[in-house]
Amino acid sequence: MRSYLDTQGHWRDYAAVYRAAIASVHRLGNPLALVRVHRGLGRALCRVAEWEEAERVVRLAAAFALRSGDRTQQAHCEEALSAMYTARGMHELALEHATASTRLHPGDDGAWFASSFALRARCLAALNEFDATLAATTEALYLHRTLVPRDETGDRLVRGAQPRSV
């Protein structure tokens, strides 16, 4: 449902769905659900430019992720903060959170790990740091290519690829 509401531009409904889920996940007490629902609400609030509430909710999701010890969820929260700051034109803060995301992602997190480098590259480009942008983009491309199974081009899967630099 989230994908549909987001891609169709029903962002207020997207936020309403997540708001409705908040009380339920608190009753459940499931750490992963707490992180994901709060982060989802924060992303939805970003779509409707409710910045202060979005930041508060995503930071709450990040606190839940930190308490759970789940580095992947921590990385996703950092990505959400980076995207929010990018949308607000706060590129230095966006870069800090994108860099944190890259450092937090486990190396075996596949496309998410690779995409964290692309997110970092977008932040660097917004700051006119083009040499660093090229390096981060190259790393993202390298990591994405490692996900491709061997095919007629000769590319092959390299599981658990580690970045060449962070």
State pTM to two decimals.
0.85
The pLDDT of residue 117 is 95
Domain boundaries, the chain: 1-69, 92-166
Counting residues of the chain whose pLDDT is more than 90, the rounded percentage is 72
Confidence of residue 28 (pLDDT cuts 50, 70, 90): very high
**Of the listed ranges 70-74, 112-116, 126-130, the one predicted with least confidence:** 112-116
DSSP string of 150-165, one letter each residue = P-TT-----TTPPPS-
Over residues 141-155, the pLDDT tens digits come to 999 888 876 555 554
**Beta-carbon contacts of residue 128 (< 8 Å; ≥ 6 apart):** none
